[in-house]
Chains A and B, each alone.
Chain A
């Protein structure tokens, strides 16, 4: 049977579907930023930005950019009524102190038990840069990863043990991918859902890892 990958927008919508009303969320740089576009206007969700913003709003209209008001990806944003500014130590206290409900991050690799590698390829000539990735990964109550399940070469990015340098140990709770949504547990992967037509056996073949049946 054939199956179709979730598009980037489908995937962002799938992540957004699981973000509950009233939660405080940090969306990582890159693909996770798209999730904001899929949170229904009727659902009140507070977005946190590591550079000192809670209650971040959408991008401003053209010409209305204010470069004192940017997100972690350095793009101009707006502030919702009720939003707040604070300094960096307070911003990271919100993460490390366990005050954020969810953070959504990209990844190079995730292990079946939730180890995360998303900051450095480990190549000798690569310039390392970590930003807030390590603080976010271990700080939020739940860390979700959003990524393609396979590399461009077809290798699984979900692995038994990460070969890239680690960002955090056992910190990823869920993997939202173009092919399936998975839960990372101390006992390995558990299926939450997969795209139509992708069998459990085929998913396990692609991953090269066992996947437990969905929790009832």
Chain B
């Protein structure tokens, strides 16, 4: 069954906390990965790979560059769930 936006946001927040230590409540849709959450490119890629596994989606390298905000990532994952 496809996950909702809120469920994906919650799951993504867990992955971000695991990788960076950022509190889950800091992870909101409008937050920028780089400017607001200060997540560097290597941590971002670790989160992407873990998100692929957790949500069963494929996130190509070229697509990662377009995921500027947490909301971008949630939208991509929700719309690409198998």
Do A and B bind? no
Q: Please list the residues of chain B having a beta carbon within 8 angstroms of any beta carbon in chain A.
A: none
Q: Please list the residues of chain A having a beta carbon within 8 angstroms of any beta carbon in chain B.
A: none
